[in-house]
Amino acid sequence: MKPKVFIARPIPQEAIDIVAERCDYRIWDKKEPIPRDLLLAQLADADGLVTFGGRVDREMLAHAPRLKVVSNISVGYNNFDLPEMKRRKVLGTHTPHVLDDTVADMVIALMLAAARRITELDAMVKAGQWQKGADFDLYGVDVHHATLGIIGMGRIGEAVAKRARFGFSMDVLYTNRRRRPDAEQAVGATFVSLPELLRRADFIVVLVPLTEETYHLIGEAQFAAMKDSAIFVNVSRGKTVDEEALYRALSSGAIRAAGLDVFEREPVAPDNPLLRLKNVVTVPHIGSATAKTRLEMAKAAARSVVAGVHGERPLYVVPELQELL
Ligand code: DGY
């Protein structure tokens, strides 16, 4: 009998075919998220689950007695209850590498959009408010030759640093749990403490995973330490930043602007005050969302779930669960 896999959201046929070749599968193929009770019911006999960041918690795992592997179609895995997965010997996998360049492109896009006020001015032009005359009040700031501070120098950080250094002649500072001499060598980045980075950088990008240690890593004190001309970009997870402190910093002029791919609550509430600010550029958590990259992510997740349910070694088990291998 083939192992059973539940795929909890629509994925491309190519990725489904990878699962179908060696497993029986069922798929939730509707656009809206699968209701929790239906998901729990589907897990009763599942050996593997493919999910896109859905909560994998104690209750869910209790409904999945046969589960061997949860395969996330994302690089972040803050949706995993790691201690409980470890206790139940359920592997968790993610999809690093394939999205690095795509997410790095989005970081640069948000930096440029916030610095040159692209969305604000786009709205102005489309509203028919472009008038001839002095245009001082439409000026932005330069990205090129400015100083970039990267908080979290993993693979995506390095891809951002490369673009910044070689594409925009920026000075690149970074802070990270451990120093990265290889990245320093490759992209000429300089390792500094977080306070020094906040004090010196013109652009500050958060790229850390969300963990207990990084929850609200950037808050009131960190915004206060930034230059009042600083542009802040978050493409990691919303909860790494204290959003109320960010709102106060942006609305009081303590920093200049922000580019946000992620929010503390997603989808963002329509009445979130950040959405009313002209100096905020937003996108709906689409850092990795190009068709090509999402296909590669889905294929990687499909390969991992197939390996996991067959007792083979999936390529990208998250570090905290590698001891289960
Ligand atoms: C990731 O891969 O973690 C992206 O943020 C998409 O969820």
- Cα(138)–Cα(132) distance, rounded to whole angstroms? 12
Structural element, H or E, at residue 167: none
Banded pLDDT at 134 (limits 50, 70, 90): confident
What distance in angstroms lies between residue 74's CA and the mean position of ligand 1's atoms? Answer: 4
CB 236 within 8 A of CB 208: yes
267, 247, 266, 242: which is closest to 258 by C-alpha?
247
Q: Is 285 a catalytic residue?
A: yes
Ligand 1 pocket member 74 (CB < 6 A): yes
Report whether pLDDT(46) > 90.
Answer: yes
pLDDT at residue 152, rounded to an integer: 98
Over residues 149-177, mean pLDDT: 98
Among candidate residues 266, 276, 312, 313, the one labeled active-site is 266
pLDDT at residue 104, rounded to an integer: 98
Q: Is 117 a catalytic residue?
A: no
Ligand 1 pocket member 99 (CB < 6 A): yes
pTM beyond 0.95, yes or no: yes
Residues above pLDDT 70, as percent of the chain = 100
What distance in angstroms lies between residue 138's CA and the mean position of ligand 1's atoms? Answer: 34
Give the torsion through C-alpha atoms of 72, 73, 76, 77, to 10 deg: -10
Ligand 1 pocket member 304 (CB < 6 A): no
Beta-strand runs (E) in 54-151: 69-72, 91-93, 147-151
| pLDDT tens track for 263-309 | 999 999 999 999 999 999 999 999 999 999 999 999 999 999 999 99
Over residues 35-58, mean pLDDT: 97
CB 308 within 8 A of CB 48: yes
Over residues 171-176, mean pLDDT: 98
Alpha carbon separation from 178 to 76, 96, 152, 195 (Å, rounded): 19, 19, 9, 16
pLDDT at residue 293, rounded to an integer: 98
Tokens for 167, please give them. 């594409």
Over residues 195-220, mean pLDDT: 98
pLDDT at residue 212, rounded to an integer: 96
Structural element, H or E, at residue 101: helix 100-115
Average predicted confidence (pLDDT) for the chain: 98
Among candidate residues 163, 256, 285, 303, the one labeled active-site is 285
